[in-house]
Amino acid sequence: MKLKVSRLAISVGLMVTSLAAYADAKEEAVIDKAVAAYGGDALLQLETLRINDTYKGFREGQSRIPSEIDQVSYQTSTTIDFKNSRKSMQSVGGVYVQGLYVQHAFFNGEKGYRIQHTAQTSSEDPWTSFARADRGLSWRLDIALVKLLADARTTATYKGEDTHRGKPQHLLAFKPEGYPEFTLYVDKASGLISKMTRPGRKPDSFYSYVFSDYQKRGGFTFAADTYVMHDGKPDSLTVSRSLDFNADIDDAYTVPETYGTPAKMLDDSEMAVRRLADGVYHAGKNGGFSIFVDAGDYLIASGGYPGLEDRFNAVKAFAGTNKPLRYQIVTHHHDDHIAGLKDAARLGATFIVAEEHIDAVRAAVPTDLGTDRFLIAGDRSSYGKGLVEVVDIASWHANHNLVTYIPHAKLAFSADHFFSFAENGLPAPAEMYAEFKAALDGYGLDIKQLAAVHSGRVLSYEDLVQSSTGPFTRLECPAFWDFCS
């Protein structure tokens, strides 16, 4: 009997080993087929890759009005130096009213850097690693994913089969160090990647990348078209794409010698509360702040960034009070600025809101909100027996922006319109600051201080005047960037 049991154990052990070997062989076979489809040995030996993309981005949750999704065009150049572990990202996009939003970051094999071409400064960035230096732009390219898979094949796991547009697919998941987990749909017949999925930042959130229009260049295959969805909704769509294989990419890692050091940034990593006037408190951390006003029996707040309840509790501890939050002013409908409103709802607050933003607030709060939980702000409204006023301004950022004005403090609190992350100095003069100033001046407000959601630093009205005075420099593609010139 013991002999039979021993033989059974050996048989089971051999079966498990065989199944594991079969699974490994299956993964290897799928990887080898994908590598062969995209260039074979030439792909494995690829030293550098430059990806020049133009694509349309769809700004859901950041649009000017809640019922529409804004579209923004981007031109990008991404380089990867596989041999020396370097990676760079250069990007321009028409996001701001004064011109293009210019970004440049790279990892040189040892350290990360951020380059500000408009300000002509450069600095080390400890958050920029090889994996993240391109801000995920290379994930939009199928051949770059296959090269990554080939280099990280030991992390691959076979996930079964599925179909894409009626064609059978192998599903292969892999997770290189520093990256999210990617799941590739590998066409059984061709070995080409038809789709990729990855998790988003929020729980149960995901991105889908759909690849099409496959082309051949210099012995390599790649998809000329990438359509990206976030939770099933449009995120971006490729307009044009060009690739350079084994090209000289050193220019992407060069910083002009004339560039200086940027201003020292504020350290807001710890919760901080500042008393700006009698009964007026500015509280927050990590680029998310709120203003709180003591209205006698209760508090009024503005600024709905995540962590609202933490800021509320910090203010109560600082002021030595346990007064309830009666009103929460909703600055505007953008996702990041309503993400903390679930805290305000749980605390029992009534929302002061532009009528067009009520549905966005309801969508951001997990519990049902009756009509009694909303007060519609007009062009200019008063609350807390005149302690707080709210004015509604239209801007490049959103059609409705509620700015909180506190008369006795001569203070205006806004969301995304005027602030600085630096310890000293002011934002460079720009048309958008002039528009913001003109909107505030139109209400005849007596303003001495300006606080904001995104910074713990409080600026002055004279600072706004200075940043609103031209000439305004039009932000454009740097002259030495040939991909967007």
User: Mean pLDDT, to the nearest integer, of 49-73?
Assistant: 94
Domain ranges across the chain: 23-253, 272-467
110 pLDDT above the threshold of 90: yes
Question: Does position 55 have pLDDT exceeding 60, yes or no?
Answer: yes
pLDDT band at 18 (very low <50, low <70, confident <90, very high): very low
Whole-model pTM: value is: 0.89
- Here the contacts of 102-105 (C-beta below 8 Å, separation 24 or greater) are 102/475, 102/477, 102/478, 103/135, 105/133, 105/134, 105/135
> Cα(105)–Cα(122) distance, rounded to whole angstroms?
10
Confidence at 202, pLDDT banded by 50, 70, 90: confident
Query: With bands split at pLDDT 50, 70 and 90, how would you rate the model's confidence at 4?
Result: low
Looking at residue 98, its pLDDT comes to 73
Specify the CATH class of 23-253 in words. mainly beta
Q: Which residue has the tokens 């720009």?
A: 430
pLDDT score recorded for residue 99: 77
CA nearest neighbour of 315 among 343, 281, 341? 281
With vertex at residue 464, the alpha carbon angle to CA 459 and CA 470, rounded to the nearest 5 degrees, is 145
Q: What is the pLDDT of residue 23?
A: 53
Q: What pLDDT is recorded for position 474? A: 84
Asked if residue 21 has pLDDT above 70, the reply is: no
Give the pLDDT band of residue 51 (cuts 50, 70, 90).
Answer: very high
pLDDT on residue 15: 47
The whole-angstrom separation of Cα 75 and Cα 59 is: 16
* Whole-number pLDDT of residue 12: 52
CATH code: domain 272-467 is 3.60.15.10
Percent with pLDDT over 70 in the chain: 94
Position 449: which residue type?
Answer: Q
Backbone angles phi, psi at 311, to 5 degrees: -65, -40
> Residue 473: its pLDDT value, please?
84
Listed residue (475, 464, 379, 373) closest to 427, CA to CA: 464
Q: Which residues, listed in sequence order, are joined to residue 98 by a DSSP beta bridge?
A: none
> E strand or H helix at 214, and its extent?
strand 206-217
| Predicted confidence (pLDDT) per residue in 204-237, tens digit | 999 999 999 999 999 999 999 999 999 999 999 9
Evaluate whether 381 touches 352 at the Cβ level (below 8 Å): yes
Tell me the pLDDT tens digit for each residue of 404-460. 999 999 999 999 999 999 999 999 999 999 999 999 999 999 999 999 999 999 999
Question: Mean pLDDT across the stretch 316-338?
Answer: 97
Q: Which residue has the higher pLDDT, 1 or 333?
A: 333
